[in-house]
Amino acid sequence: MDEDDFTPPPTEADLWKRANDSSESAMDRGQAWDQLAHMKFHQAQMNDCITYYEMAEKFYREAGWTLQEGDVAYWQGRAHYNLDQYERGIECFVRASDRFHEVGHEVWLADATRGAAECNAKLEKTDEAIVQFSSAANFYEVNECWHLAGDCRLELGEIRGSSGHAADALGEFTKAREMFEKADIPRRSVRAADRLASAHIELGQIDEALEILISNLDVACFLGNPETVAWSQYRLGWTYNIAGKYADALRLLDFARDFYSQAERFAVKADIDLQRFYALHSLGHTTEAEKVGRGLRAYWKSVANFESLVIHDANIATKLSSQGNFAEAIRLASGAVADAKKHCGDWSQRTSRLLLAEVFVDAGEFDRAREALESDMAEQWGDTVGTKIRHLLVLAVIARSESRPHEARGITERVIELAEAAGIGNELGPAYEILADLADLELDHQRGRDKRAQAVALFLAYGDIQSANNNARKLLPDVAERRRADEWHLINVDGKEPDVPQSEVTRESRGTSSRPDRREHDDGSAPEA
């Protein structure tokens, strides 16, 4: 191009003059306001940006430029979203959708629909968000915008998973991975597979999760991005902990820790050290585990991360309770509840109270368990289905202990209904155990045996060997030998339970939602503290 032909872009002063010149056409004035607004958007001056986009929308409407009218309405929505003005954002995205529908621009229609979905998700209007994300994903898929369809499927998976519908989340994450594979974006595919593994874990399908995460690590190593490799090592190590493969977990967690330590990503390093603590403790490396635990507590206190501190203490209390050390478990869990009440929000308070109630149930102190919950209405909590199920199970055990069998059975049947609908099979074993106990109390021994056999099968399916052993012994005749072959060959009737870690209470080990994973970056990494 000849240098003499070069036309410099208009300055902000030029645009301002043209935008306010009444002799200019509506089209030219609309374009000037549009360009001014775009400048303000990239300068993060959102209030000015919105005002200028409103002016551009007015002149584009006057000029009959429907597509451009919708475009500036869309960007108004984005500006409102950046200002956390989600209701206003929805209004703008709806206007944009109407204009794009008029001109038949399906991809931009999908963009506007997705914007409205993101606003509704922030407002916790999950039903509206699900409908809109699904609609946007369908438009993107029809127009072969695979990566955008994958992003919508990821959002749908997160929403469904956070609502306790792990089976539905699994389906969405599977579709997301397929979309990213079609788009040939391997790092996004790795991200989708990571979330898919989390859904498998929530469903108690640990082997399937391990298979996916091992493949993810191989892909990450091939891609050669150090942070993606470190994150994949962390996630696989975490899952090895859940599977009881502590040596494998520790090896990978140590590698991941080295990366985040050198990168000074201390929040992620702390998450990794938490999993190292569980692995070391389970391997019997008590001194080293205690050293890691002290470091974690000191770091969390230094950054006022009382939520992590509370949940850590509550998890340790749960572990002590499973080992029969009820006095220490109650002391630690009670301290966690007190700290949560003093320093944390509603979610941590409810979570720590629920864990304390479960410890009291383990210890046979049912009155104190009821007091710990502070409410009998699990549905009022507004948490995930998994959390509601755990709450209801505590109430069912309390009702059974207080000789209220009809109430206990009703609550337990509600648990089974919720768990089956959400695909949370790891909570079905305790429910059938309660039904078996109730049948035995009513001297309906055949029904009791049927329910207990179902409980044994479910405990075995989800790796709870100790509970399977305890229930299996009740099925054996008193005169039978303690060791049985055939149908009980998988059950350790000597009662030697492998040391299974308590993973984060907010998700995978208890079938509830993923708070930690929600902090991850789009590329599968985790954010800075």
Q: How many CA atoms lie within 13 A of 439 on its CB side?
A: 17
Residue count of the chain: 529
Domain interval for residue 469: 375-506
Residue with tokens 């330590």: 261
Distance between CA atoms of residues 85 and 131, nearest Å: 21
Calculate the alpha carbon distances from 73 to 16, 118, 260, 367 in Å: 20, 16, 42, 58
Token digits of residue 93: 């995205």
Reported as half-sphere exposure (CB side, CA atoms, 13 A), residue 463 has a value of 18
Structure tokens, 391: 């709450």
Q: Tokens for 92, please give them.
A: 């703008």
Only one residue has tokens 């001109």, namely 103
- 216 in a structural domain: no
- How many other CB atoms sit within 10 Å of the CB of residue 13? 8
CATH number of the domain encompassing residue 482: 1.25.40
Is 486 among the domain residues? yes
> What pLDDT sits at residue 478?
44
Instruction: Count other Cβ atoms within 10 Å, centred on residue 377.
Output: 11
Distances, alpha carbon 293 to alpha carbons 162, 228, 257, 309, 441, in Å = 29, 26, 15, 10, 44
Flag whether 423 is in a domain: yes
- Rg of the Cα atoms in the chain: 28
Report if residue 387 sits inside a domain: yes
Q: How far apart are CA 238 and CA 453, in angstroms?
A: 31
Domain membership of residue 175 (yes or no) is: no
Domain-located, residue 240: no
- How far apart, in Å, are the Cα atoms of 74 and each of 65, 102, 141? 14, 15, 21
Per residue of the chain (529 residues), give pLDDT as tens. Answer: 455 566 778 888 989 999 999 999 999 999 999 999 999 999 999 999 999 999 999 999 999 999 999 999 999 999 999 999 999 999 999 999 999 999 999 999 999 999 999 999 999 999 999 999 999 999 999 999 999 999 999 999 999 988 778 889 999 999 999 999 999 999 999 999 999 999 998 888 889 999 999 999 999 999 999 999 999 999 999 999 988 899 999 999 999 999 999 999 999 999 999 999 999 988 989 899 989 999 999 999 999 999 889 888 888 898 888 888 999 999 999 999 999 989 988 878 888 899 999 999 999 999 899 888 876 554 454 456 778 888 899 999 999 988 899 999 999 999 999 888 877 777 899 999 999 999 998 899 899 999 999 999 998 887 778 888 888 988 875 433 333 333 333 333 333 333 333 333 333 333 333 222 323 334 444 433 3
How far, in Å, CA of 99 to CA of 380, rounded?
A: 41
Give the model's pLDDT for residue 383.
59
Q: What is the pLDDT of residue 2?
A: 52
Helix axes 428-441, 405-422, angle to 10 degrees: 160
pLDDT of residue 5: 62
Instruction: Report the domain count for the chain.
Output: 1
Residues 6+ apart with CB under 8 A from 412: 392, 393, 396, 431, 434, 435, 438
d(CA 196, CA 276): 23
Q: How distant, in Å, are the alpha carbons of 371, 453, 472, 477 from that of 446?
A: 35, 11, 15, 13
Spell out the alpha helix ranges (H) of 43-185.
46-63, 66-82, 86-103, 106-122, 126-142, 146-162, 166-183
171 occurs within a structural domain:
no
| Beta carbons of 330 and 308 less than 8 angstroms apart | no
Closest residue by Cα to residue 320 from 290, 362, 368: 362
Asked if residue 422 is part of any domain, the answer here is yes
Q: Tokens in use for 42?
A: 């990239």
| Per-residue confidence (pLDDT) for residue 3, from 0 to 100 | 54
First to last CA, the chain: 49
pLDDT value of residue 329: 92
The pTM of the full predicted model, rounded to 2 decimals, is 0.72
Query: Which structure tokens are listed for 294?
Result: 């002290």
Per-residue HEC secondary structure of 428-442 comes to HHHHHHHHHHHHHHC
Q: What is the pLDDT of residue 6?
A: 60
Neighbouring residues of 147: CB distance < 8 A, sequence distance ≥ 6 = 179, 180, 183, 185, 188
* 514's tokens: 């993923």
Cα(387)–Cα(519) distance, rounded to whole angstroms?
A: 20
